[in-house]
Amino acid sequence: MTQEKGTLDGDCHASTGAYLPFPISYYRHGLSDCGGGLGPWKSAGCLPNMMIRYARTRKCLKHLRKLAGCYWMERDGCPEHCYIEGTFDLDFYMVSLINNSRRLGHAACAEFLGGNMQTFSNWKFYLFGNLDIKPGDWQMPYGTKTEDTKVKIYEITGIITCALPDYVPESPKAVFLIDEYGTVTPEEEE
């Protein structure tokens, strides 16, 4: 068993399952076909955490070659994992959460559960260890008196890097506004 910085492999989470219900701390690029990471580890915030979860869904299959050169580690001393470790039948989308008055700029995961995309309850939001993000949670706070929290849902159209998806900013699949009281409404189209 390998030890690094005092953490035993036994303290690390298994990477099985569709949702990866814990945050990861590091990511890096490396050899294609899951042949191993190269270079220094980079700190993983919300976008790399979102990308790893995207790589677990059927929607990633068109970007498999690029994602098979990406690696993650839960924390110091845990094993390295390739982003591609099995895919699950999830209808996955990227979420952008913005509220300038709260200094919020965050990315998360959205699973479309079926029905009308413009109905908020037809979406499941998740990231890090929270598998059911709701309005009012720190990752999706209520708006303020001066600005609603904007929830924009996008389809990933490509992979720029292991930590950065490509998408069409002008074409969200759905946009919701959360006011200061937690009321969620679809944004009116202009």
Regarding whether 170 and 99 lie in a shared domain, the answer is yes
Q: What range defines the domain where residue 105 resides?
A: 92-186
What total number of domains does the chain contain? 2
pLDDT of 2 strictly over 50 = no
Regarding whether 120 and 78 lie in a shared domain, the answer is no
Regarding whether 77 and 96 lie in a shared domain, the answer is no
Q: Which residues, at least 6 apart from 57, have a Cβ–Cβ distance to it below 8 Å? A: 18, 87, 88, 89, 90, 91, 92
The Cα–Cα gap between 45 and 139 comes to 12
Regarding whether 119 and 54 lie in a shared domain, the answer is no
pTM: 0.91
Instruction: Give the pLDDT confidence of 83-119 residue by residue, as tens digits.
Output: 999 899 999 999 999 999 999 999 999 999 999 999 9
77 assigned to some structural domain: yes
pLDDT of 8 strictly over 50 = no
Regarding whether 112 and 156 lie in a shared domain, the answer is yes
Regarding whether 103 and 171 lie in a shared domain, the answer is yes
Instruction: Give the pLDDT confidence of 120-152 residue by residue, as tens digits.
Output: 999 999 999 999 999 999 999 999 999 999 999
Instruction: Give the pLDDT confidence of 28-78 residue by residue, as tens digits.
Output: 999 999 999 998 999 999 999 999 999 999 999 999 999 999 999 999 999
Instruction: Annotate 37-60 with b (16+ C-beta within 10 A) or e (fewer).
Output: beeeeeebebbbbbbbbbbbbebb
Regarding whether 72 and 104 lie in a shared domain, the answer is no
3 assigned to some structural domain: no
Regarding whether 109 and 59 lie in a shared domain, the answer is no
Regarding whether 108 and 176 lie in a shared domain, the answer is yes
The Cα–Cα gap between 99 and 121 comes to 21
Regarding whether 114 and 36 lie in a shared domain, the answer is no
Share of the chain above pLDDT 90, in %: 88
Q: What is the DSSP secondary-structure string of 60-113? A: GGGGHHHHTTEEEESSTTSPEEES-S--B---EEEEEEEEGGGTEEEEEEEEE-
Boundary of a domain, candidates 82, 106, 122: 82
Contact 25, 43 (CB under 8 A): yes
Instruction: Annotate 140-155 with b (16+ C-beta within 10 A) or e (fewer).
Output: bbbbeeebbbbbbbbb
Res 20: pLDDT: 92
Regarding whether 148 and 117 lie in a shared domain, the answer is yes
14 assigned to some structural domain: no
126 assigned to some structural domain: yes
Decide: helix, strand or coil at residue 150.
Answer: strand
Q: Which amino acid is at 54?
A: Y
Nearest CA to 51 among 175, 159, 150, 168?
A: 159
143 assigned to some structural domain: yes
104 assigned to some structural domain: yes
Nearest CA to 107 among 81, 125, 86, 119?
A: 125
Res 14: pLDDT: 84
Regarding whether 115 and 64 lie in a shared domain, the answer is no
